[in-house]
Amino acid sequence: MKITRTKSFRTFIDPVWGENPINIQMLGICSALAVTVQMKTAMVMGLSMTFVVSFSNLIISLMRNAIPRNIRIIVELAVIATLVILTDEFLRAYYYDISKQLSVFVGLIITNCIVLGRAEAFALSNPPHLAFIDGLGNGAGYGLVLITVSFIREFLGSGNLFGVRIIPEAFYAAGYEDMGFMLLAPAAFIIIGLLIWLQKSVIED
Amino acid sequence: MSDYMKSLLFAGILCIACSSLLTAAASGLKKIQQENLLTDQRKNILKSVGLVEQDKEYTSGDINRMFHDSIRRVNIDEKGNLIEENQTAGGDSEKNLPVYLYQKNGGAVQAYIIPINTRGLWGEILGYLAIKNDGQTISGFTVYKHSETPGLGGEIEQNWFQSNFIGKKITGPSGEFVSISIAKGKAEDTVGEEKMGNYVDGISGATLTGKFLSKGLKDVLSGYEPVSIIFRKKLQFCKTNPNTPWCKK
């Protein structure tokens, strides 16, 4: 059997493309607007999200037969919140400057619908290995959109990529100016809108 | 066992597991986090006197070395008298005001740095204000902790806002103390020509943050006024007290 036909592969690739959490399911838009001014913060946010969603999926799937139905949302949230705070503590210890820039948005992963959505819709009814892969796929799908948006915003808005100057000084001397609008949240809104349009028309073809 | 009891038991075990995990992580990483916090404060002190640039990356080793080379901390009481270091440990902390002195390689004092601690709209604003050794001219202002609205009051952490402070005065034309305030909007549109030196441009959409910060700066600066007076009358003062850290040559 080809690898692209296996269930694991489909579980991973669906949320990256066809069921992308931001572009197709319209979840997690708020954080995607806030942390995409620079590629560095977008990448750290994507990684944090991937960590949280894959491990919360794994843990909840492991416990899925033991969780009492009537308190399952509380249990899911407790697991998610614990993972998010662990991530936050870790960032504050080892990536202090980035964690300062991300400020509240790491903590707000708790309220990101993608995490609870995957726990409810997938982890509760699937075995641990698939749930973990589903988490990785959703994190990757979320992260890729963030990185694409931040690439456009950082490049056009400040002429940098990963904080390194890309547009040569000579351009500025010749009258080129950064698009200040790209640094504001509405710019991300427009870019995400265009990405959604692009992706949907590609899928429909 | 009833379903009810089962749920309670499950919830209890989960709570204990989660909280012990978090406690372990929080206390295990506390030391590193506090070091980061200290380095960040030192970085802001260095930034307020222009030793650290905004966009450059520094290792914590760099920051600590620069800090030890050029910054000295002294404590004063509310009248501006020095408090000996061995007294500070048990002393009354409220009357104990820290001042950081910027001395290039231990030479004469170039500027003194005052820690700013004020109310903001949503929470504390913590930062530093550096004043040149004439006791009047601001050489820099930084904020390292705040919880103002991102994009509005949160702009106080941005370079454009902070660099407005450079070169402004905390004194009026005849040398009396007036503090530094944040204007409502652009300073040149809202305050008169003669007061321009005491106002910086405000942030549109963040009038309240500006108001709290203006008041906080005034409170803090008036508390430190004795030190500023020493610097303004340095020649006189140093004749009688040549061995104080302010007068080091």
Helix (H, G, I), strand (E, B) or coil at A109: helix
Helix (H/G/I), strand (E/B), else coil: B112: strand
CA-based nearest residue to A79, from A92, A90, A67 = A67
Residue of chain A with shortest Cα separation from B2: A68
- Average pLDDT of the residues of chain A: 90
pLDDT band at B119 (very low <50, low <70, confident <90, very high): very high
Cα-based distances in Å from B238 to A31, B102, B131, B224, B248: 57, 18, 19, 18, 9
ipTM for this model: 0.80
For B140, list phi and psi in degrees, rounded to 5: 175, 155
Contact A38, A101 (CB under 8 A): yes
Nearest Cβ partner for A82 among B3, B18, B29: B18
Q: Give residue ranges of A with CB < 8 Å to any B CB.
A: 34, 66-68, 70-71, 74-75, 78-79, 81-82, 85-86, 89-90, 92-94, 96, 100, 103, 163, 184-185
pLDDT tens digits along A102-113 = 867 888 899 888
**A45 confidence band (pLDDT: 50, 70, 90):** very high
Query: Within an 8 Å CB–CB cutoff, is residue B13 touching chain A?
Result: no
What was the pLDDT predicted at B46?
Answer: 92
Nearest to B11 by CA among A76, A131, A86: A76
Contact list, B21 vs chain A (CB under 8 Å): 82, 86
Q: What single letter denotes the amino acid at residue B128?
A: Y
- Note the pLDDT tens digit of each residue in A108-153: 899 888 999 999 999 999 999 999 999 999 999 999 999 999 999 9
pLDDT at A1: 60
**B25 touching chain A per CB within 8 A:** yes
Record the tokens describing residue B12, joined without a space: 């209890």
pLDDT of the residue at B138: 94
The nearest CA of chain A is from the CA of B34 a distance in Å of 8
**Contact of A49 with A109, CB cutoff 8 Å:** yes
Place of tokens 């705040």: B146
Residue of A nearest to B144 (CA): A100
Q: How many CB pairs under 8 A join A and B?
A: 54
The pLDDT, as a whole number, for residue A5 is: 76
At B123-155, the pLDDT tens digits run 899 999 999 988 899 999 999 888 887 777 888
- Residue A100 with chain B: CB contacts under 8 Å: 40
Q: What type of residue sits at position A167?
A: I
Percent of chain A surpassing pLDDT 70? 99
Instruction: Tell me the per-residue pLDDT of B27-86, one tens digit each, with 9 for 90 and over.
Output: 999 999 999 989 989 999 999 888 887 767 788 888 888 898 889 888 888 777 787 665
Closest by Cα among A85, A198, A91 to A145? A198
Minimum CA–CA partner of B18 in chain A: A82
**Stretch 26-55 of chain B: residues touching chain A, C-beta under 8 Å:** 26, 29, 32-33, 36-37, 39-40, 55
pLDDT of residue A179: 84
Indicate yes or no: pTM above 0.95.
Answer: no
Contacts of B6 in chain A (CB under 8 A): 68
Residues of A in contact with B150 (CB under 8 A): 34, 103
Q: Decide if pLDDT at B89 tops 60.
A: no
**Identity of the amino acid at A149:** V
